[in-house]
Structure 1
Amino acid sequence: MGEQLTIGELASRTGVAASALRYWEELGLLPAPARVSGQRRYPPSAVGLVGVVVLLRDVGFTLREIKAFIASRSPTGEGWRELYQRKLAELDQRIAQAQVARTAIAHGFACPHKDIFECSNFANGVAAILAGCSLEEAHSQVHSH
């Protein structure tokens, strides 16, 4: 049967809590391991699979997306590309939103008023948001005058 790892050993080798490993198993991210006297026993290859889950989580994939990624493995090896393409588009959108937010905050930080609630630009930005504008539209409106 070769070297088998307990859940504690797998947790130690990967830096992932045993409770998270059990949860990932429950979600189907990790295959159900063999059992010896009721205790989980993982093959050494489980270390690499946990590493894949951690990497994908750290770059922004949700656990649901990671499950789809793992399930997308096929003989042609192309299933993951669509998932990566969608995640890149999502990240590009989030980066653009973060850049708009950063610009708005930097302008607010540079406001000469002691109390930002006294700033007409701030008040106009709030009004634009309440009127249904996106942050980017509100910021453009405030600074186009």
Structure 2
Amino acid sequence: MDEQLTIGELAGRTGVATSALRYWEELGLLPAPARVSGQRRYPPSAVGLVGVVLMLRGVGFTLREVKAFLTARSAGGDGWRELYQRKLAELDERIARAQVARTAIAHGLACPHDDIVECAQFTGGVAALLAGASVEEAHEGIHSR
């Protein structure tokens, strides 16, 4: 039989706290391990599974999305690809919003006013936001005049 890992050994090999491992088990991200004298015993493959969870979390997946990924994989087929495509679209949207925010902040830093709230362009952008424009639309509007 393969070497079995205690929860502490699994934590040591993966860098994940034992409390997180127990929580992931509770969520169904890790299968319930065998028990020896009441103590959890994980197969060596659990290290790789924890690595998968860490990788997916590292690229922006929520724990709920990680579970959906693991479920899709176990069902076979390409279900995981749809999850990846949705996450990619979400990341593209977040990147676009961050780029708009960065441009707006850079323009704010270039503003010649001592107090940006006194700047007509800034207050015009605030007014556009209050009228229902997105940050991108407000920023484009004040710089297209």
Q: TM-score, normalised by structure 1?
A: 0.96
Q: Which amino acid aligns with 1:65?
A: E
Tell me the residue number matched to 2:68.
Answer: 68
Task: Write the distance in 2 (CA, Å) between the matches of 1:44 and 1:76.
Answer: 22
Q: How far does the alpha carbon of each residue in 1:30-86 deviate from its partner, in whole angstroms, 9 at most, with x for none?
A: 000011111111000000000000000000111001000000015753111111111
How far the C-alpha of 1:123 sits from its partner, in A, is: 0.7
Q: CA RMSD in A?
A: 1.1
Tell me the residue number matched to 2:4.
Answer: 4
Tell me the residue number matched to 2:82.
Answer: 82
Q: Secondary structure at the match of 2:73?
A: coil
Aligned counterparts, 1:28-67, within 5 A: 28-67=28-67
Task: Write the distance in 1 (CA, Å) between the matches of 2:134 and 2:12.
Answer: 46
Structure 1 runs not aligned, ≥5 long: none
Q: Which amino acid aligns with 1:104?
A: A
User: Sequence identity of aligned pairs in percent?
Assistant: 80
Q: Which amino acid aligns with 1:34?
A: A
How far the C-alpha of 1:2 sits from its partner, in A, is: 2.5
Q: Secondary structure at the match of 1:31?
A: coil
The number of residue pairs the alignment matches comes to 145
Task: Write the distance in 2 (CA, Å) between the matches of 1:2 and 1:99.
Answer: 50
Q: Which amino acid aligns with 1:80?
A: W
Q: How far does the alpha carbon of each residue in 1:120-139 deviate from its partner, in whole angstroms, 9 at most, with x for none?
A: 11111111111110011000
Task: Write the distance in 2 (CA, Å) between the matches of 1:53 and 1:76.
Answer: 18
- Seen in structure 2, the aligned counterparts of structure 1 residues 36 and 71 have a Cα distance that, compared at 3 Å, is same
Instruction: Say which is worse superposed, 47-56 or 77-86, in terms of deviation.
Output: 77-86
Q: Secondary structure at the match of 1:72?
A: helix
Q: How far does the alpha carbon of each residue in 1:83-140 deviate from its partner, in whole angstroms, 9 at most, with x for none?
A: 1111111111111111111100110111111111111111111111111100110001
Structure 2 runs not aligned, ≥5 long: none
1:94 lines up with 2:106 in the alignment: no
Tell me the residue number matched to 2:144.
Answer: 144
Q: Secondary structure at the match of 1:40?
A: strand
Q: Which amino acid aligns with 2:31?
A: P
Q: Which amino acid aligns with 1:126?
A: V
- Seen in structure 2, the aligned counterparts of structure 1 residues 70 and 76 have a Cα distance that, compared at 3 Å, is closer
Task: Write the distance in 2 (CA, Å) between the matches of 1:74 and 1:50.
Answer: 16
